Amino acid sequence: MQTIIMQTSFQFSNLDKGLVAGVDEVGRGPLAGPVVTAAVILDPARPIAGLADSKALSEKRREALFDEIREKALCWAIGRCEVAEIDELNILQATMLAMQRAVAGLDPVPRHVLIDGNRCPALPCSAEAVIGGDGSVPVISAASILAKVTRDREMVELDRQYPGYGLAGHKGYPTKAHVQALTELGVTPIHRRSFGPVRRLLIA
């Protein structure tokens, strides 16, 4: 596993490595649902205004940028790990695998990858981890938007399949309401059994 940490003062425009992809994840902390990652290579000839950390944007703005990124990027791909993989591997390793899957889906293939956070998965090209990259490096911001909108939409659909848990609202995160619903309604197939609040209910 590659771990090269860069600070948020990183200058994306100074890279001279050919095609550069940004990668980010959504869904490491929830008790339910997949972890979703996105990889993006932006097109310098088709700039996208307003790229920022997906968490700092309104839902309406994220949705608009989601469509614009998919239209204007040179390429993009979504990677994921499902609940069973998360429980088998642990959430860190599942996140790294989902990132590898996202990067593997890019065409053209990047020569360099910038990943939000403090560590990188093993990749067939050079990679750097950028702390705070989702708010400071546009290509990572684009990835964060694709990943968040993709996962949020999936959680809304899962809310229809598993009503009563409030998944459309909290997106699977361990809110008080979610934990209470788990206690009252029980554990579903989309809940991560390796996570403490779920595991404790199963062994109670």
Please tell me the distance from the alpha carbon of residue 121 to that of residue 51, in angstroms, as a whole number: 24
CATH 1.20.1260.10 fits 5-199, yes or no: no
* Mean pLDDT value across residues 80-92: 98
At residue 17, the pLDDT reads: 46
Contact 73, 142 (CB under 8 A): yes
Nearest alpha carbon to residue 188 among 28, 30, 27, 31: 31
pLDDT at 182 over 50: yes
Question: How far apart are the C-alpha atoms of 182 and 176, rounded to whole Å?
Answer: 10
User: Residue 177 is encoded by which pair of tokens?
Assistant: 């309401």
Q: How far apart are CA 174 and CA 156, in angstroms?
A: 16
Average pLDDT, the chain: 92
pLDDT of residue 10: 39
| Percentages (nearest 5) of helix, strand, coil residues in the chain | 45, 15, 40
| Tens-digit pLDDT profile for residues 33-79 | 999 999 999 999 999 999 999 999 999 999 999 999 999 999 999 99
18 Ramachandran zone, left/alpha/beta (phi>0; psi -120 to 50):
left
β-pair partners for 81:
35
Helix (H, G, I), strand (E, B) or coil at 80: strand
* The predicted structure's pLDDT at residue 203: 87
Cα torsion 144, 145, 147, 152: sign? positive
176 — pLDDT class (breaks 50, 70, 90)? very high
* pLDDT higher than 70, residue 16: no
Strand partners, 178: none
To the question of pTM greater than 0.75 for the whole model, the response is: yes
**∠ at Cα 128 (108, 113), nearest 5°?**
10
Using one digit for the tens of pLDDT, what is the confidence trace for 105-116? Answer: 999 999 999 999
Q: Spell out the residues 6+ positions from residue 101 whose beta carbon is closer than 8 angstroms to its own.
A: 37, 77, 79, 80, 81
- Of the pLDDT bands very low, low, confident and very high (cuts 50, 70, 90), residue 18 is low
Q: Kindly provide the b/e burial profile for residues 88-113, where b requires at least 16 CB atoms within 10 angstroms of the residue's own CB.
A: eeebeebbbbbbbbbbeebeeebebb
Band of residue 135 on the pLDDT scale cut at 50, 70, 90: very high
**pLDDT digits 0-9 by tens, 153-172:** 999 999 999 999 999 999 99
